[in-house]
Structure 1
Amino acid sequence: MRIALVSDVYLPRLGGIEMHVHDLAVQLQQAGHAVTVFTATPAASPATDVPVLRLPSLAGVPTSTDVLRLALGSGEYDIVHAHTSFLSPLAWNATRIATDLELPAVVTLHSLPAPDGVLLPWLLAHVDRDFGPRVQWTAVSQTVAHRLRKVLPHRAVAVLHNGIDPAPWQQPPVADHPLTIVSTMRLTQRKRPDALLETLQDIRRRVPIEIPLRAVIIGAGPRASAVTRVIRRRGLDWVELPGRLTRYEIQQLYLSADVYLAPAELESFGVAALEARCAGLAVVAMASGGVGEFVRDGVEGFLVDSHKAMAEIAADLLTDDPLLRKLQAHNRFTEPVMTWPTVIEQHVARYTATQPALSAGYLPSTA
């Protein structure tokens, strides 16, 4: 199948959507499909593993869709798969163009609308009015799908999970290390790094002082300077901020880590938490997001409703060695359902369902 993946944001910018679209493209290629990524994200040098068409843009906003319309109208694509957040003009334009060209389109929402929000649900509903009836909406988790169905009650919303290759994360842990808490996030208000610092401070108060603790917050973003100042002001010298790390560096760090905290209340899926779970870390996450699709209470970790509860549970885990080791062993040796073979199968089934001519006896293209 010839697939156009469209995302406003893409590598070399780093983030959940950026990494997922790249990994999805690679995995689809390995499954025998022809894939091109369309993005408004500029780059100094082109990627080599995935064909990418970088459209003219200003500050990440596309300035023209002429090239996009010409490419999608060339007859070289069987389907458009647009990846959208709450503000994704390129992905929305691609879906409108696909509608005009009568080209099948799938739209995946990667962000979780707030339950009491008004503006963003209104915006999604407004955008959808320009999409034809054949456009298929999907979401990265059941939690996002549930919210989206409320916004678009006339649409059937399926789930297309993010995927993971567990193998690189499933490495033998370092035996001798201080109890270590980690969290990986883009340091933005939405990810709640300030609440994470409050939680870490609460954990330190709850864990006996004679037990050494280490915390590592991985990531960069607009809140980085503020987070650094708070750590210094509060004397949290046991909290480290290494900045942005590569996947390999994160994997190496997780070898000597124990508990992963996911403090965001609007986490649409939680790829970073899934990676930590595969690395054998016990995960404590907010129950309001999508992490609950691969973390069950007392099995892979715990889901909580407040940051006070997160501190309580994390402190209990750090002082209950048998329970902590039980969760870690389960996570390290039990693969989640979101492995890439399963996720690619779900994507191809969704793509094929949009094209009746291909629904019977479809074989992937090797082009």
Structure 2
Amino acid sequence: MIRVLFILEQHLGHRTYAENLRFGFARQPQVQAQWAEITYYQAGGLIERLPLPKTVRGILRGRQQVRQALRQAEYDVALFNTQAPAAIAGGIVRRRPYLIATDITPRQYDEMASFYHHRADRPGIESSVKHWLNRRLFQRAAWVLPWSHWVRDSLIREYGVHPDRIQVIPPGVDLSRWQPTRDRMPGHFRVLFVGGDFYRKGGPTLLAAIQQLPIPVEVHLVTRSPIEPTASVYVYRDLTPNSPRLIELYRQADVFVFPTQAEAFGIAALEAIACGVPVIATPVGGLPDIVRDGVNGFLVPPNDPTALAARLRLLGEQPDTRWQMAQAARHHAERYFDAVQNAARIAKLLAQAANVTTGLCFPKPSYDESSR
């Protein structure tokens, strides 16, 4: 039995990742899991009342949450879902072996800073020290588990992590819930978009592309942004990750469109292929690992409504092509993005890091360099 402490940030797409990780590890009997949610906030807390900038208060609260989890838990090995909570915890992290899974490196995040309202580090002593600390943190990890090959390349090139200690293990989904349906409702060509930040994720590009189509289209937008519905545009603001209503929207879609300008991975696109829905996305971040251009969807340049409209028209007017891509999408999800299979792969690495022999068989890793 492996005692594993999962330390999980709870912002952006990491909430969905954490939920899917819990699902996958609930089916790993060799793992005794403990879960620590890092929220960087505590309602009514003393730290939150300090006369400090909000960012500083968040770091202090996050440090307190991580260090408390590491001190109180009895564990053999820890897994962090980003390097940030491990970095702010300090030397206590090294008391036990640890793994870091991440969708993006700090350098990559800085490159996308303007899209995330993030202030990138300026060149100088502070930036150099932070980069050195992150390099050391990644290099000391027993394993580093990037979600995509895009992140893997950055870990090797910019952080000096040895390739032999990197395993690309993307998020998985519950394929028994996220699956195609045989009960498709009749109607116009249905386009689905899911993105909390409508603008960063390319929503305006989608709406501009729709105006160029000569075929009738229904557009379904799942977003937090204040977008108003129209006669052919439906807007949903109250859907939660893995909810039945959200899954049904995917299952009824003819195509999922994700023309994002900046993205670390794109779990929404992953959920689409699990439902057997072709995806049109941009070649940003880890999306090329999900969308194989011309196979289970298309990759188009960001901010290019004309290119997007051309691909939408092709799928709208060629149902046979759409069907072939739908089959390829589901197959790709089953091969690489099964939550249970990917949790088993992580469990094997956790056991190696903790030097624990489980006596169980694990699936052979399939998401390696040959899969690119």
In the superposition, the TM-score normalised over structure 1's length comes to 0.77
Q: Kindly tell me: are residues 166 and 198 of structure 1, through their superposed partners in 2, closer, same or farther at Cα, counting changes over 3 Å?
A: same
Q: Quick check: 2:5–2:79 contact (8 Å CA) kept in 1?
A: yes
Q: Could you tell me which of 154, 162, 170 is aligned with 1:161?
A: 170
For residue 318 of structure 2, what is the amino acid of its counterpart?
Answer: D
How far 1:94 moved relative to its partner? 4.2
One-letter amino acid of the counterpart of residue 216, structure 2: P
Q: Residues of 1 paired with 2:153 and 2:139: CA distance?
A: 20
Distance in 1 (alpha carbons) for counterparts of 2:340 and 2:313: 36
Task: Choose which of 83, 103, 118 in structure 2 pairs with 1:110.
Answer: 103
Letter in 2 for 1:346: R
**Amino acid in the other structure paired with 2:311:** I
Secondary structure of 2:211's counterpart equals helix
Query: Larger relative contact order (C-alpha < 8 A, sep ≥ 6)?
Result: 2
1:286 equivalenced with 2:282 (yes/no)? yes
Q: Which residue matches 2:154?
A: 147
Structure 2: distance between partners of 1:142 and 1:287: 13
Distance 2:278 2:62 in 1: 46
What is residue 233 of structure 2 aligned with on the other side? 239
Matched residue, 1:125: 131
For 2:93 and 2:74, how far apart are their aligned partners in 1?
Answer: 13
Q: How does 1:36-115 map to 2 (within 5 A)?
A: 36-41=34-39, 58=48, 60-63=58-61, 65=63, 68-69=66-67, 71-73=69-71, 76-84=74-82, 88=84, 90-94=85-89, 96-99=91-94, 101=95, 103-111=96-104, 113=108
**Sequence identity percentage:** 21
- Equivalent residues of 1:82, 1:92 under 8 A apart: no
- Given that residues 265 and 286 in structure 2 are in contact (C-alpha distance below 8 angstroms), is that contact kept between their aligned partners in structure 1? yes
Q: Which deviates more, 278-287 or 73-82?
A: 73-82
Residue aligned with 2:192, SS: strand
Q: 1:143 to 1:68 in 2, by over 3 A?
A: closer
Kindly report which structure 2 residues correspond to 1:224-235, keeping only aligned pairs within 5 A, or say none.
Answer: 224-225=225-226, 227-228=227-228
Question: Which amino acid in the other structure matches residue 87 of structure 2?
Answer: W
Q: How many residues align?
A: 328
Q: Which residue of 1 aligns with 2:338?
A: 339
Aligned counterparts of 1:115 and 1:199: Cα–Cα separation in 2: 26
Residue among 212, 217, 222 paired with 2:216 = 212
Deviation of 1:261 after TM superposition, in Å, equals: 0.8
Tell me the amino acid that sits aligned with residue 320 of structure 2: P
Aligned AA for 2:178?
Answer: W
8 A Cα contact 2:195 2:222, kept in partner? yes
* Contact 2:198–2:223 (CA under 8 A) maintained in structure 1: no
Query: Per-residue displacement from partner, 1:110-140 (whole Å, max 9, x unpaired)?
Result: 2361695694695862442563853133211
Alpha-carbon distance in structure 2 between the residues aligned to 1:277 and 1:134: 35
- With over 3 angstroms needed to count, the CA separation of the structure-2 counterparts of 1:29 and 1:182, relative to structure 1, is same
1:82 to partner: Cα distance:
0.9
State how far apart, in whole Å, the 1-side matches of 2:245 and 2:264 are. 24
The amino acid that maps onto 1:187 is D
3-state secondary structure, aligned to 2:7: strand
Q: Contact 1:142 / 1:159 at 8 angstroms: preserved in 2?
A: yes
Higher helix fraction: Structure 1 or Structure 2? 2
> Matched residue of 1:310: which SS?
helix
Could you list the runs of 5+ residues in structure 1 that have no partner in the other structure? 45-54
- CA distance in structure 2 between the partners assigned to 1:6 and 1:303 by the alignment: 34
Contact 1:199 1:307 in 2 (8 A): no
- 8 Å CA contact 1:79–1:351 kept in 2: the answer is yes
2:253 partner SS: coil
Specify the SS of the correspondent of 1:7: strand
- For the pair 1:186 / 2:196, whether they are aligned, the reply is yes
- Which residue does 1:47 correspond to in 2? none
Moved more, 18-27 or 121-130: 121-130
Q: Quick one: which amino acid aligns to residue 3 of structure 1?
A: V
* 1:134 paired to 2:140: yes
Deviation for aligned residue 1:249:
0.6
SS at match of 1:166: coil
Give the distance between the partners of 1:201 and 1:237, measured in 2 at CA. 16
Equivalent residue in structure 2 for 1:250, among 230, 246, 250 = 246
Structure 1 residues 56 and 272: CA distance shift in structure 2, 3 A: farther
Tell me, what secondary structure is at the counterpart of 1:281? Answer: coil
Identify if the C-alpha distance between structure 1 residues 62 and 294 changes in structure 2 by more than 3 Å, giving closer, same or farther. same
